[in-house]
């Protein structure tokens, strides 16, 4: 199938939808590394023109990996509400973009449409949007989810407290937890990336977090970000408390195999937490993603990293998660070269996640060998809050000493809440005031003083 257009006095030809989607993508170093990116700005515009005339039906009928070869494709396609898809299938991608951006198109209308969209449809419209389009459209979409508390409610903005430690030292972890909580971080989740991901260590960390949470009656959820089977075994073998179950996911079956995970493993973990977990649910999954992971495992099937990332969200939607976040700059400059590409990717991922219908956050971050700095990441965090992002990360000093990357710190969430007139999750907000850390939504002089926790 040859797709072509005449532009700037030149006829541009594309052999298939896959090539159009790749070359319509905004510039990404990962697509260049894969050899699928547009060679010139003119070719990129030509691909966008061709894409704009394709219908949503065209995109659905050209999944990134064939249905019979890939369980992620099967999950995405089988979950589609056919009645809703039929309402939109004859729209061109350009027409669908205009519909999303129309001021008369409401949150409820978009949430309705999302149930009929495959990930390729969502990635396609994303490629035709400017950064402001992505912010405006995402801001119109509100997605709530409940684990122990409810994230995503109007007027709220949350954070994950990430108290990682280079040796999983309990005292170091708890010190970070106390500081982060006192500054208003952790209402989304207190989540540790463990150094030692053995079953015994994961069980110990889960118990430690749960004991602290219960002692201080912190209204939140806890997680240790080990492999899903390790978390389940920690619960079954050692009685570790599971509020939710975590897993990194990819947009193809081959990519998930690189993570050592299958759809059935995720389903089994979810079923276990729903029947034996410690949260009230029903949203008990936590997923992390990030543009480029499929390329790094040679699992992208020739498709661009935006489309493959959209497919992560299509897979996540199947499990109705409490949290999903794109670790947007973590993989490095091989996939997102500089701050401009990281910013674009963060806005793309957030928009695509919300249009898919999932509770979406973002780890606004960068590695030290990337052309980016802390100001760039704070800029992205600010844009994400303007777009209605559910949560970002809270890391001591914005520097994760265990994972060795730079991120948003404990103060950013409080500052962004004040700027945008937002509050933490309701129960957490009340707890902050009870502890004396905040008053009327603003931090008090007690904020940041971990000694408050030593008095009991």
**Binding residue numbers for substrate:** 160-162, 193, 288, 363
Helix (H, G, I), strand (E, B) or coil at 162: coil
With CA atoms as reference, report the closest residue to 367 among 357, 376, 359, 354. 376
- Exposure string of 11-45, with b = 16+ CB inside 10 Å and e = fewer, is ebebeebbbbbbbbbbebbbbebbebbbeeeebbb
Using the Cα atoms of residue 100, residue 425, residue 208 and residue 264 in order, give the sign of their dihedral.
negative
Which spans in 216-304 are helix H?
Answer: 228-238, 253-258, 263-276, 293-296
Between CA 421 and CA 45 the distance in angstroms is: 38
Between CA 119 and CA 432 the distance in angstroms is: 39
Q: Which residues are annotated as a binding site?
A: 160-162, 193-194, 247, 288, 296, 363, 402
Q: How many residues does the chain have?
A: 456
Is the separation of the CB atoms in 296 and 30 below 8 Å? Answer: no
What radius of gyration do the chain's Cα atoms show?
21
Is the separation of the CB atoms in 249 and 259 below 8 Å? Answer: yes
Between CA 337 and CA 222 the distance in angstroms is: 33
Look up residue 393 and give its two tokens: 């990360």
Between CA 299 and CA 350 the distance in angstroms is: 22
Q: Which residues are annotated as a binding site for adenosylcob(III)alamin?
A: 194, 247, 296, 402
With CA atoms as reference, report the closest residue to 223 among 269, 285, 156. 285
Which spans in 304-364 are helix H?
Answer: 305-317, 339-356
Between CA 286 and CA 91 the distance in angstroms is: 33
Between CA 294 and CA 252 the distance in angstroms is: 7
Between CA 239 and CA 444 the distance in angstroms is: 38
Helix (H, G, I), strand (E, B) or coil at 159: strand
């Amino acid at each position: 199938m040859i797709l072509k257009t005449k532009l700037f006095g030149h006829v541009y030809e594309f052999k298939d939808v896959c090539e159009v989607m790749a070359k319509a993508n905004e510039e990404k170093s990962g697509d260049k590394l894969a050899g699928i990116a547009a060679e010139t700005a003119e070719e990129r515009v030509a691909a966008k023109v061709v894409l704009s005339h394709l219908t949503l039906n065209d995109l659905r009928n050209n999944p990134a990996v064939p249905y019979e070869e890939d369980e992620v494709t099967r999950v995405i396609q089988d979950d589609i509400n056919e009645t809703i898809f039929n309402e939109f299938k004859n729209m061109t991608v350009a027409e669908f973009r205009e519909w999303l951006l129309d001021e008369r198109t409401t949150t409820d209308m978009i949430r309705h449409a999302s149930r009929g969209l495959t990930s390729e449809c969502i990635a396609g419209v994303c490629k035709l949007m400017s950064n402001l389009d992505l912010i405006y459209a995402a801001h119109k979409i509100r997605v709530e989810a409940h684990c122990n508390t409810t994230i995503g409610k109007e007027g709220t903005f949350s954070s994950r407290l990430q108290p990682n430690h280079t040796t999983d030292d309990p005292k170091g972890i708890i010190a970070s937890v106390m500081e982060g909580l006192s500054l208003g971080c952790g209402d989304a989740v207190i989540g540790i990336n463990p150094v030692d991901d053995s079953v015994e260590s994961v069980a110990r960390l889960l118990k430690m977090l749960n004991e602290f949470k219960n002692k201080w009656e912190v209204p939140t959820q806890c997680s240790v970000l080990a492999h899903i089977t390790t978390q389940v075994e920690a619960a079954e073998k050692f009685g570790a408390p599971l509020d939710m179950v975590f897993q990194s996911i990819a947009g193809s079956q081959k990519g998930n195999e690189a993570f050592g995970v299958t759809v059935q493993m995720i389903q089994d973990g979810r079923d276990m937490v729903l029947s034996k977990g410690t949260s009230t649910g029903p949203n008990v999954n936590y997923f992390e993603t990030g543009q480029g992971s499929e390329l790094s495992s040679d699992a992208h099937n020739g498709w661009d990293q935006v489309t493959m990332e959209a497919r992560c969200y299509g897979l996540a939607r199947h499990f109705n998660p409490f949290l999903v976040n794109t670790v947007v700059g973590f993989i490095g400059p091989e996939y997102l070269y500089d701050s401009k590409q990281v910013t674009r990717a963060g806005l793309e991922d957030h928009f695509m996640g919300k249009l898919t219908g999932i509770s979406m956050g973002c780890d606004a971050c960068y590695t030290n060998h990337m052309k980016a700095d802390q100001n760039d990441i704070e800029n992205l965090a600010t844009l994400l809050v303007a777009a209605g992002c559910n949560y970002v990360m809270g890391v001591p000093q914005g520097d994760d000493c265990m994972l060795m990357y730079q991120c948003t710190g404990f103060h950013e969430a409080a500052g962004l809440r004040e700027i945008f007139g937002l509050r933490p999750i309701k129960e957490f907000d009340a707890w902050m005031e009870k502890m004396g850390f905040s008053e009327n939504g603003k931090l008090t002089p007690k904020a940041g003083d971990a000694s408050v926790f030593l008095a009991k």
